[in-house]
């Protein structure tokens, strides 16, 4: 297990905000309690598990129609599962297939863990992939959510405990079927899929965490 210095990790965070609220931060809640607010003149999306009653914020089929123009019985089943994690989808990004996605995140609270992730490959079935950082493991990892449950695909070998209430950066690189996840330019994980990426983009958190996201960029 490799532990990286916190000072080195913080120094790697990009200084410039990337994307305006109009371009990338309007979300459609699917699971959990999500809200928009302005912080320091920037649009921020916050998930607050303390206000989530473990039920979808609205009828999942309504979210399916907004996102995919489908009624979505399987989508609703995945969103309503007891194993579902807090999830919104970005309204402005209909299909991300390759390139780089980057977002800043801030871990604010959590009873058992603090987690923030970037969701991709979100499909009409309600299945998706995610790259995330959490304090419990202190690393970056790829996860898959399908059939109402999550499964780890790969995790990085470098570990660091990132401070709370500080902005960090998580990046996703997609080249054909090869995935690379990077946190603060230092923590890293790679994985090769058995299918090409194609789907919506969103954010991810644990059922007991409070996390914030801002400055999304898709390249």
Determine the Cα–Cα distance for residues 147 and 77; give it in Å rounded to an integer.
8
Structure tokens at 70: 């489908």
pLDDT at 23 over 70: no
Question: What's this model's pTM, rounded to 2 decimal places?
Answer: 0.86
Structure confidence at residue 161 as a pLDDT band (50, 70, 90): very high
pLDDT tens-digit map of 98-108? 999 999 999 99
Q: Which residues sit opposite 146 in a β-bridge?
A: 149
Query: Contact 27/90 with Cβ under 8 angstroms?
Result: yes
Determine the Cα–Cα distance for residues 4 and 186; give it in Å rounded to an integer.
8
**Which percentage of the chain shows pLDDT scores above 70?**
84
Who has greater pLDDT, 8 or 158?
158
Structure tokens at 21: 């609220």
Determine the Cα–Cα distance for residues 36 and 26; give it in Å rounded to an integer.
8
Architecture of domain 2-218: Sandwich (2.60)
Domain ranges of the chain: 2-218
Determine the Cα–Cα distance for residues 143 and 171; give it in Å rounded to an integer.
15
Mean pLDDT of 4-16: 37
Determine the Cα–Cα distance for residues 211 and 48; give it in Å rounded to an integer.
7
Q: How far is CA 70 from CA 38, 48, 64, 87, in A?
A: 32, 28, 6, 18
Mean pLDDT of 196-218: 94
């Amino acid at each position: 297990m490799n532990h990286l210095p916190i000072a080195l990790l913080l120094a790697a965070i990009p200084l410039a905000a990337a994307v305006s609220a109009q371009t990338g931060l309007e979300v459609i809640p699917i699971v959990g309690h999500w809200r928009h607010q302005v912080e320091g003149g920037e649009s921020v999306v916050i998930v607050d598990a303390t206000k989530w009653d473990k039920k979808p914020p609205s009828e999942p089929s309504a979210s399916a129609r907004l996102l995919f123009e489908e009624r979505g019985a399987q989508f609703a089943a995945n969103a309503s599962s007891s194993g579902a994690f807090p999830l919104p989808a970005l309204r402005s990004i209909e299909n991300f297939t390759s390139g780089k996605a980057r977002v800043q995140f801030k871990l604010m609270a959590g009873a058992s863990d603090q987690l923030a992730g970037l969701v991709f490959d979100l499909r009409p079935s309600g299945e998706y992939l995610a790259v995330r950082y959490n304090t419990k493991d202190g690393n970056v990892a790829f996860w898959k959510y399908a059939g109402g449950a999550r499964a780890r695909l790969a995790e990085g070998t470098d570990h660091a405990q990132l401070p709370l209430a500080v902005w960090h950066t998580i990046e996703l690189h997609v080249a054909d079927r090869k995935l690379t996840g990077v946190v603060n330019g230092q923590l890293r994980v790679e994985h090769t899929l058995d299918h090409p990426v194609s789907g919506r983009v969103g954010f991810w958190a644990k059922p007991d965490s409070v996390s914030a996201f801002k400055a999304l960029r898709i390249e």
